[in-house]
Structure 1
Amino acid sequence: MALSGKRVARIEIKSKGDVYHELWNSNPHHIANISPNLVQNCKTHDGQNGTVGCVLHWDYFLDGKEQVGKTLILEIDEEKKLTKWKIIEGDLLKLYKNFFIYLHVDTKGIKHVVTWTVEYEKLSADVPDPDSLMELYTNLTKDAETHHLKD
């Protein structure tokens, strides 16, 4: 059984992709207001939101349990609407040696697609693949879309 893996979730949204990209980069603290049943808190731990090097502290629910984590922004490509994070602390690192998250928002044409990709390396073969985390990202995307369509 391979210890390294990759998961991808693509969600078509009706709201503007630019707004979604900006939410995750510049205003991640709003995510707790948009989806409080999934994310309880997001605070800037170090740096400035929307910049490479920013560290965010997250309190969230995964598999019915309270979880914490810190993410480091590794890259932001405004033209491609792509952001890359690395998990640097928290509950996920009890299961995974390395964990990277990629968010791409395709804003070309009339369809807007949010693509979440995670690349990971498990600490052992009995660690599950992060399918529940992909479900969390899908649900966060849907909650954000509902919120933005109400505005």
Structure 2
Amino acid sequence: MSQKLEATTEILSSADKFYGFFRNSMSDLANIFPAGFKSVQVIEGVEGSVGAVLFYSIVVGAISQSVKLRTEAINDAERSVTYKALEGDVLQLYKSYQFTLTVSNGSVKWTIEYEKALPLVPPPEIYMAFAFATTKAVDAYLLLSQ
């Protein structure tokens, strides 16, 4: 059974620039947030388009992990992007895992939809904390580059 975890955090940068980064520039995350992203590679399609697949080497909660994500949906009018995990460590805990970020003026809402692999698996709160840390890093980068 699919479950959902949602949380919102503030941003100070322009909503359009923040959304544009997550829509088109995910491959820059290793340069902006090297403590969290060791590498990001486009392995299929064109970054910023539905169907693009990127491979991430990340550090979540001091644990090195990898994940292959496909861009599932892009909605420019609502400033939202949805990514789905195709392979990786996250799928050892969850049968399915996808997340959506929706950017508004002054805030970002993260929605993680997941199905636990086993009943005792906790909700993906550690991944939500990682999303918030990534939000802060990108927000700071965008503010400094304005």
TM-score category by the smaller chain? Answer: over 0.9
Q: Output aligned runs, 1:79-94, within 5 Å.
A: 79-94=77-92
Identity of aligned residues (%): 30
> Which residue of 18, 25, 28 corresponds with 2:23?
25
- Which amino acid is the alignment partner of residue 16 of structure 1? S
Is 2:137 the partner of 1:143? yes
* 1:49 alignment partner in structure 2: 47
RMSD: 1.0
- Contact map agreement 1:9 1:138 (CA 8 A) in 2: no
- Which amino acid is the alignment partner of residue 34 of structure 2? P
What is the number of residues matched between the two proteins? Answer: 145
* 1:115 alignment partner in structure 2: 109
- Which amino acid is the alignment partner of residue 138 of structure 1? F
* 2:123 alignment partner in structure 1: 129
- Contact map agreement 1:45 1:55 (CA 8 A) in 2: yes
CA–CA separation in structure 2 for the residues paired with 1:4 and 1:83 = 19
Q: Which runs of 5+ in 1 are unaligned?
A: none
CA–CA separation in structure 2 for the residues paired with 1:11 and 1:150 = 19
Q: Which runs of 5+ in 2 are unaligned?
A: none
1:135 Cα offset (Å): 0.3
1:4 Cα offset (Å): 3.4
- Which amino acid is the alignment partner of residue 141 of structure 1? T
CA–CA separation in structure 1 for the residues paired with 2:51 and 2:28 = 20
- Which amino acid is the alignment partner of residue 126 of structure 2? S
1:83 Cα offset (Å): 0.6
Q: Runs of 4 or more off by more than 2 Å in structure 1?
A: none
